[in-house]
Amino acid sequence: MALNATGRVAYVNARLLDPASGLDEPGGVLTDGEIIVDFGPGLASLDVCLCDYTQVVDCGGHCLAPGLVDMRMQLREPGDEHKETLAIAGEAAVAGGVTSMVCLPNTQPVMDDAATLEYVARRARQIGLAKVYPYGAATKGLQGLELAEMGMLAASGALGFTDGVRAIANAQLMRRALSYASTFDLMIVQHPEEPSLVEGGAMNEGELATRLGLPGIPVYAEAILLERDIRLVEATGGRYHAGHVSTAEGLAVIRGAKERGLPVTCDTAPFYFGLNELTVGDYRTFAKLSPPLRGEDDRRAVVEAIKEGVIDAVASDHAPQDQDSKRRPFAQADFGGIGLETLLPVTLEIHHNGHLSLLETLRLVTEAPARLLGLDAGRLRRGGRADLTLFDPYRPWIVKADEMVGKSRNTPFDGRPVQGRVLRTVVDGRTVFTRDD
């Protein structure tokens, strides 16, 4: 599905951004096949000798950066292709500037064996859009009863272990998982909600939930599980990562763990710094997420934690659902919202609102997640893979659910004005997406 064959390409007249090295200057990138041959400010001009290059791309002064690395998203293939196929997920990803995405293991069948991991990786290579890397299941069948074969999964390419949208609730099992994963220097990725406090809940517990007559999920459900897990990290020394952190209480626990020098990291999603519980409005099921959208104080706490560096990365938390799953009474609707196409523009709000520089903001979705996962991605490197995104950080547009590239339409950002538009995405030297409007 590439728009041009692999060849020698010169990208010139760009604002070159590389968060890993701190580069932010006019410049360009030269690629040969799948590889970056050279980059830097000396390649800014169209006048540079480009005789040996089969294609010259004038970037028009727009931002040219490493392709985005999305460290938390859900695939629906195999098993739930009626919600989204791997090909459509790839199209949505590259439309959002994402060149590498790391998927949770909650497919059907579950990614708790080598065959399923290898199937997903092979299908992604055949499709040729965004690269797909899997997490392996922490427990067999994601049932939380018995550890999966972590050694086998690690050998098959798993970047870490998680039970996806389910918390690893059993403390003894979590202790063993942390110990075992540490032998492969891979991290356990937790969904930080104490299950017994979440069961039956539909949205953030509080005045709004009471007014709407919906069962609530308390904010302390996050902190309680995090506090338990941090004790287990202390005991085992295992690497621990908390996904989509959404509360001030939970962030306080993580902040304390980091201050003690523990191997603890975390991410959040644009939902949790871009929206609050008021988005639920009159029972808008597109805003039913897990964890739920929180109150304004928690949303602001997430922003502050990003500014302070307590939050290490931002992930899309992409969770496509079909219409039948969302067009139900709010309490019965499925959790989840799509996020691949809005990852960049909503994350850029951190910069536009004056909280971080453009490079610091971009690091959250490039170099930072790649470093956490040990991926050779998210940075410009001579001899590295030519995975690039060209974007205009200031171009305004309005998110419209019915215009999303993906098969599912369940975006909680529907109708939101944003700034930041991807113009071109390059994977392994191939242009796989361009935008003309």
Which of 110, 99, 71 minimizes the C-alpha distance to 379? Answer: 99
Query: 426 vs 22, 36, 316, 352, 430, CA distance in Å?
Result: 21, 11, 19, 25, 5
Q: Which domains does the chain have, with CATH numbers?
A: 8-64+386-434 (2.30.40.10), 67-373 (3.20.20.140)
pLDDT at 4 over 70: no
Report the share of the chain in percent with pLDDT over 90.
93
pLDDT for 402 beyond 70: yes
Determine which of 28-42, 43-57, 153-167 has the lowest per-residue pLDDT on average.
Answer: 43-57
Residue 7's pLDDT band, with cuts at 50, 70 and 90, is: confident
The conformation of residue 337, written as its DSSP 8-state character, comes to B
pLDDT at 145 over 90: yes
* Strand boundaries in 201-351, DSSP class E: 203-204, 216-217, 240-242, 264-268, 313-314
pLDDT classification of 435: cutoffs 50, 70, 90: very high
Residue 317 annotated to the active site: yes
Rounded to the nearest 10 degrees, how much is the dihedral formed by the CA atoms of 109, 114, 120, 123? -120
Instruction: Report whether 305 contacts 313 (CB < 8 A).
Output: no
- The pLDDT mean for the chain works out to 95
Pairing of strands 23-32, 35-40: antiparallel
Residue 44: pLDDT over 70: no
CA distances from 353 to 70, 73, 81, 300, 358 (A): 22, 26, 38, 12, 11
Predicted model pTM: 0.96
Is the pLDDT at 280 greater than 50, yes or no?
Answer: yes
Q: According to the model, what pLDDT value does residue 325 have?
A: 95
The answer to whether the beta carbons of residues 86 and 80 sit under 8 Å apart is no
Catalytic residue among 317, 387, 414, 428: 317
What's the mean pLDDT in 362-389? 98
